[in-house]
């Protein structure tokens, strides 16, 4: 089975919170291409989609989102309405974060990079 990194142009990791979402765009080898923080509302979701379309290096993009059933639920709905592929990103274990610092931007980057190591059976579409 192929890894996600073998079938995408980029992954966007998103760390979700009640009032804001931080996103990080990485290439298939995990290099950061861009990052942004937006409000957690319809305007913020639209801004995030525009940002992604301006920065992604190709059409095959996957969004790895933390909290898809809670703070990220609205973002997931908005992304699916415009045809984006979304996967759930596990929240980091506290032990794994110890010593590496904590920030929303770091969590978004980690979500994207961890998604790259997942097995993928289908080529994602935009």
pTM of the model: 0.87
Distance from chain centroid for Cα 48 = 11
CATH dotted code for 2-120:
3.30.420.140
> What's the CA gap between 35 and 13, in Å, rounded?
9
Residue ranges of the domains in the chain?
2-120
Distance CA 106, CA 120 (A): 24
pLDDT tens digits, 63-121? 999 989 999 999 999 999 999 999 998 766 554 545 555 689 999 999 999 999 888 64
pLDDT value of position 101: 52
Q: How far apart are CA 44 and CA 63, in angstroms?
A: 15
Residue 48, token pair as written in the block:
């995030």
């Amino acid at each position: 089975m192929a890894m996600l990194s073998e079938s995408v142009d980029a992954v966007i990791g998103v760390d979700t919170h009640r009032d804001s979402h931080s996103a990080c765009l990485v290439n298939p080898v995990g290099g950061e291409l861009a990052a942004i923080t937006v409000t957690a509302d319809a305007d913020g979701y639209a801004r995030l989609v525009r940002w992604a379309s301006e920065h992604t290096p190709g059409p095959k993009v996957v969004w790895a989102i933390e909290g898809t059933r809670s703070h990220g639920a609205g973002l997931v709905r908005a992304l699916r309405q415009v045809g984006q592929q979304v996967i759930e990103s596990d929240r980091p274990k506290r032990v794994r974060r110890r010593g590496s610092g904590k920030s929303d931007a770091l969590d978004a980057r980690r979500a994207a990079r961890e998604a790259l190591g997942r097995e993928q059976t289908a080529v994602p579409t935009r």
